[in-house]
Structure 1
Amino acid sequence: MLGAIEQLLKDEIGLNSQSVGLSVIRHALKERMTATGIGDLHEYWSVVTRSRSELQQLINAVIVPETWFFRDRDAFSGMTGYARAHITRRRPIRLLSLPCSTGEEAYTMAMAMFDAGYGADDFTIEARDISSRNLEQAQLALYGRNSFRGTDLAFRDRYFEPVEEGGYRPNAAVLGRVHFKLANLLDPPEAAELGGYDIVFCRNLLIYFDRPTQDRALDRLEQFLAPGGLLLVGPAESALPIARGFASARLPMAFAFVRAPKTQPVEPPRAVTPAAPPAKPVARPAAPMRPAPPKKPPAVSRPLQPKESPAPDPRAASLASIERAANGGRLAEAREAALAHLAQFGPSADAFYHLGLVQDADGHPAEAIQNYRKAIYLAPDHREALAQLALLLQRQGDGAGARALNSRLDRMANRSGS
């Protein structure tokens, strides 16, 4: 029955259960069965397949937001720079945020446009999400500490007002530029209403789809764009648009793409890719399997001196156990340890990376690619995940995707001087 629930979510919203882990789906099921007072999974299946309202609540429970204002600042500076250079102002510039989650991205787009010198009449932002719960929070527009991360928070003084009950709300100018609506990227009726956007943010959604669904989504996103429009995706998704005929907009670290001219080949000829120089990370595929550094024995092993030993970090100890099992070739043990870590501690770049390694070694490349991408989403500069994903894409025949990742590795090496 759990498999039927997984298929239902895939059919409705394109969710690949392996991309989020079964623990997330089980948790969502538990939440909804408790809320509805249903104790039997078969009975819940009967309810959720008959009630669109309950299906929406299940989707809400599965979609867990993780966002904040000015997340990946280069994307927003790239957006405004591209708008000034390439988008004429014969009409208001149309922008789309999909998925918009709890609103932080869409409101950030408005703030960035204001900072770039655009007036309120110069642009409009449509914000779409598949979670009605997320949209309720976005329209409430009350944000606490978790939505403000990093050290540069000057924008909060410019665009937010403190609220008596605690938190901050965007000012009227920002609120007035964003329009929210429940929508599904893969839903044909909704897609028919969308189109002609100059800038589309679709970040960190494609990693939750399998490859055929990613292709469908990218085709839909291409239809949304006006001629000369700009598509921005997440760091872990940057190889996907290129494989579907997009071209890089050459905006550093913005992960931005434009539709390639139809006269150009969709994908470069499949020439043999020269081996990378030894100094480059991808030329050291064995590096990710390096032994874990020695760790101090946990405090419980020295009962006579408990105060002299620091309390062990359970998260670090869990990650170390995954790495030891993977390095020792105990694939089943490493897989179970990684899944247990994700269930207990939540998303982790290193846990997803090691899970990808195990799946790669165990002959499951599609699952490995998904987990490498999730690791890169959480840690865009995770060199080992980037290198392993590049190698795997090359083996799968995705030369364009591999070259894009290798280029990122080269840029990272140049920045760090290594």
Structure 2
Amino acid sequence: MLGDIERLLKDEIGLDSESVGLSVIRHALRERMLATGIADAQRYWTMVSTSRAEVQQLIDAVIVPETWFFRDREAFAGMARYARTDIKRRPIRLLSLPCSTGEEAYTMAMAMFDAGFGPEDFVVEARDVSLRNLELAEIAVYGRNSFRGKDLAFRDRYFEVVGGGEYRPIAAVRDRVHFKRANLLDVPEVTRLGSHDIVFCRNLLIYFDRETQDRALDRLQQLLAPNGMLLVGPAESALPVAHGFVSAHLPMVFAFVRAPKGVKSVRPRAPTSIAPAKVSPPKIPLPGARPAVLARPVIGQTATPRPRSLPPKDASSVDLQAASLKAIQHAANGGRLVEAREAALEHIRQYGPSADAHYHLGLVQDAEGNRAGAIQNYRKAIYLAPEHGEALAHLALLLQRQGDDAGAKALNSRLGRIMNRSGS
């Protein structure tokens, strides 16, 4: 009967039981059997297979939310920059899917306010398959677990105390977010959602098998406006490139845009400011929006980060290396794989091993079908920069495709720890 439940969840929400573990499904099953007062597993199966309401209850039980405000701060900083520089229409349409218990969707609204947008400039649509999560998101009362990391200044700007150590977003934030149930794999529902300028779909694809990932990415293509941007989780960053996306070139954001017409084989590039070995990626505060120019009330802002300067004696050498890496990236993103490979090899010969160069060489070999070479170069990149998120994500995906599920899981766990330490 457990196999029947697995297939039901796969058919309904695309859940791959191996991605969450059978223990999670067993726990959800026990929870629902206890709630319905049914002790016999076969009787429960008869009930759930004929009751849409109970199917929804089972879905709610199996989905355990794990989210908090400003999780992966760089993603929201990148979102705000892209919205300010690349999105012309108003209101800007943003989508959080899955939105879980609402922390991500409300954070999107806060980040837009911090970037200087007014309430009339944007709207956040928030969708999830769990009615329980959506109910909690609408109530919007959050405790300590939803506020993590050391920088909680946003809580003073955007929350009101409701007692008992709990907080609620202010009305200006809540009014910009609209919650509703939706399933990414349901074609009519996706069609009704329309197009969006920015889509957050983070840490959902990892719960799907390869076939379902392909379907989901096709749906995400439909949800994006022509110049829209898709943001995924770090462990998913190798997936969009096989579905007509290229990197949005935002460091540590894992964001993608549609590939230009005529580009057939493209891969996302690594940021040129990868954190050095054993150093967590820098926390990037949300960019401010010239408060002296704004004619609207200041709902909440933070200072624009100051660029890091290089020591004068190293500046020329670093500039040459950066230009060399940029040439590799340009060739790879344009599908000129031979040119990119030769440029990467020349960079290593001229400047010595570097995480970025080996990462790009791995990307090219990956695109050419040289998996052994790609794995070797991803590993070299990680050796040189243990917290190289993109190299970790791509290596994990390659190992998974080769059947090394244990190796892929270990890398994804490592990547998750890195992102958490960075304040995400």
1:276 paired residue among 377, 385, 396:
377
Contact 1:206 1:217 (C-alpha < 8 Å) held by counterparts: yes
Deviations 1:100-134 (A, max 9, x none): 00000000000000000000000000000000000
Tell me what 1:43 maps to.
43
Contact 1:70 1:105 (C-alpha < 8 Å) held by counterparts: yes
| Aligned counterparts, 1:362-373, within 5 A | 365=403, 367-368=405-406, 371-372=409-410
Deviations 1:183-208 (A, max 9, x none): 11001221110222000000000000
Q: Aligned AA for 1:371?
A: K
SS at match of 1:110: helix
How far is 1:244 from its partner?
1.7
CA distance 1:42–1:364, change in 2 (3 Å): farther
Q: Aligned AA for 1:10?
A: K
1:181 and 2:217 correspond: no
CA distance 1:34–1:17, change in 2 (3 Å): same
Contact 2:134 2:180 (C-alpha < 8 Å) held by counterparts: yes
Q: Aligned AA for 2:377?
A: A
| Structure 2 Cα separation of the partners of residues 77 and 196 of structure 1 | 22
Runs of 4+ with deviation above 6 angstroms: none
Tell me what 2:23 maps to.
23
Contact 1:236 1:376 (C-alpha < 8 Å) held by counterparts: no
How far is 1:71 from its partner?
0.3
| Structure 1 Cα separation of the partners of residues 404 and 134 of structure 2 | 32
SS at match of 1:239: coil
Tell me what 2:87 maps to.
87
1:99 and 2:65 correspond: no
| Structure 2 Cα separation of the partners of residues 103 and 63 of structure 1 | 14
CA distance 1:114–1:93, change in 2 (3 Å): same
Tell me what 2:70 maps to.
70
Deviations 1:128-173 (A, max 9, x none): 0000000010000000000000010000000000003540000000
Q: Aligned AA for 2:235?
A: A
Aligned residues: 310
Contact 2:144 2:165 (C-alpha < 8 Å) held by counterparts: no
Contact 2:187 2:219 (C-alpha < 8 Å) held by counterparts: no
Tell me what 1:237 maps to.
236
How far is 1:370 from its partner?
6.3
**Greater relative contact order (CA < 8 Å, ≥ 6 in sequence):** 2
How far is 1:378 from its partner?
2.7
1:109 and 2:210 correspond: no
Unaligned ranges ≥5, structure 1: 285-352, 383-411, 413-418
SS at match of 1:276: helix
Contact 1:235 1:376 (C-alpha < 8 Å) held by counterparts: no
| Structure 2 Cα separation of the partners of residues 279 and 186 of structure 1 | 37
CA distance 1:11–1:282, change in 2 (3 Å): farther
How far is 1:377 from its partner?
5.7
Which TM-score applies when normalising by structure 1?
Answer: 0.69
CA distance 1:206–1:277, change in 2 (3 Å): closer
How large is the Cα RMSD of the aligned pairs? 2.8
| Structure 1 Cα separation of the partners of residues 221 and 166 of structure 2 | 38
Tell me what 1:336 maps to.
none
| Structure 2 Cα separation of the partners of residues 109 and 237 of structure 1 | 20
| Structure 2 Cα separation of the partners of residues 277 and 82 of structure 1 | 29
How far is 1:368 from its partner?
4.4
SS at match of 2:239: helix
CA distance 1:381–1:77, change in 2 (3 Å): closer
| Structure 2 Cα separation of the partners of residues 278 and 143 of structure 1 | 40
Q: Which moved more, 1:92-101 or 1:180-189?
A: 180-189
| Structure 1 Cα separation of the partners of residues 262 and 38 of structure 2 | 57
CA distance 1:372–1:241, change in 2 (3 Å): farther
| Structure 1 Cα separation of the partners of residues 419 and 60 of structure 2 | 30
Tell me what 2:209 maps to.
210
1:375 and 2:403 correspond: no
How far is 1:283 from its partner?
9.5
How far is 1:92 from its partner?
0.3
Contact 1:130 1:182 (C-alpha < 8 Å) held by counterparts: yes
| Structure 2 Cα separation of the partners of residues 248 and 259 of structure 1 | 9
| Aligned counterparts, 1:329-408, within 5 A | 365=403, 367-368=405-406, 371-372=409-410, 374-376=412-414, 378-380=416-418
- Identity among equivalent pairs (%): 66
Deviations 1:324-367 (A, max 9, x none): xxxxxxxxxxxxxxxxxxxxxxxxxxxxx9xx9xxx79x97174
1:120 and 2:119 correspond: yes
CA distance 1:15–1:380, change in 2 (3 Å): farther
Unaligned ranges ≥5, structure 2: 267-334, 338-366, 386-392
Q: Aligned AA for 2:152?
A: L
| Structure 2 Cα separation of the partners of residues 182 and 381 of structure 1 | 28
